[in-house]
Copies of this chain bind each other. A is one copy, B any other.
Amino acid sequence: MPRTVDKEAQRRIVGDALLGLVSEHGLDGVSVRTVAAAAGKSAGAVQKYFSGKDDMLRFAAELVGERVEHRMDAVDPEGGTGAVLRELVLATLPVDPPRRAEAAVRQAFATRAVHHEELAAIQRETDRAVRAALTEWFEELWEHGRLEPGADCGHLADAVIALADGFTMRMLYAPDECDSLVAALDTALARLVPVG
C-alpha cells in the first residue's frame, strides 16, 4: 500500500478551520475554497477528506456538540450550589471573545438546522446530552433536599437551557448590553432555582 495519512486528524483540522470561519462570518462565509484556505490546504485536498460540503458541515456540527459538552464538563468543580449553576450557564454565554466565537457558531448551526433535518438531528442529540446532565444535577440537588419537593427537574433543565440560549442570542447581536443581561440572568436563575 502506498502513501497514507491520518484522515480523521485531517478532517478535524479542516473542521476547526470551518468553525473559525463560521464564528467570524457566519455560515455564509463558508465555502469549500474558503475553508480549505483557512486550513492552509488546497480546495482539492479537502475534497479527499469529505464527500462534499454537506459532509463537512455535518462533521463540524458534531465537533460543536463535543465542544459544548466538554465545556460543561470542565465546570463541574463544586462550590456554592447557586454559583455552580451560574458558572454552568456562563460557560456557554458569549461573555468573552472565545465564548462569543463558540456561541456564534452554535447559533449559526442551530438556525441552519431549522431547515436541515440532518443538522437538526445533531442539535437534538447535543441538547439531549446537556439536558440529561443538567437534569441529573438537579435531581442530586433534589435528593439532598436543596430543591423544593414538587420541583420537576426535567422542566427545570429545559428552562435553564432556554434561558441560556435566549440570553446568548441577544448578547450576540447586542454585545453592549452584555453586563445588564448577565445581571438579568442572575436574578432569573435565583428565581428559577431557589438554592436551598
Contact in complex: B159, A187 (CB < 8 Å): yes
A156 and B187 form a contact (CB under 8 A): yes
- Contact partners of A158 in chain B: CB under 8 A: 167, 170, 180-181, 184, 188
Known contacts: A26-B112, A110-B169, A155-B183. The answer to whether A162 contacts B188 by CB under 8 A is yes
Contact of A167 among B107, B162, B172, B184 (CB under 8 A): B162
How many copies of this chain does one complex carry? 2
The reply to whether B163 and A162 form a contact with Cβ atoms under 8 Å apart is yes
Interface residue ranges, A against B (CB under 8 Å): 24-26, 28-29, 104, 107-108, 110-115, 119-120, 123-124, 127, 152, 154-156, 158-159, 161-167, 169-170, 172-174, 180-181, 183-185, 187-188, 191-192
Binding site secondary structure of chain A: helix
Looking at the assembled complex, report how far the CB atom of A31 sits from the nearest CB atom of chain B, in whole angstroms: 13
Q: Which of A25, A108, A162, A164 has the most chain B CB atoms closer than 10 A to its own CB?
A: A162
- Of all A-B residue pairs in the complex, the 6 with the closest CB atoms, nearest first, are A162-B166, A166-B166, A159-B188, A158-B184, A165-B166, A155-B184
User: Are the C-beta atoms of A115 and B25 separated by less than 8 Å?
Assistant: yes
Q: Which B residues are CB-close (under 8 A) to A127?
A: 170, 174
- With a CB–CB cut-off of 8 A, which chain B residues contact A111? 26, 107-108, 110-111
Q: Contacts of A24 on B, CB cut-off 8 Å?
A: 115
Chain B residue nearest in CB terms to A157? B184
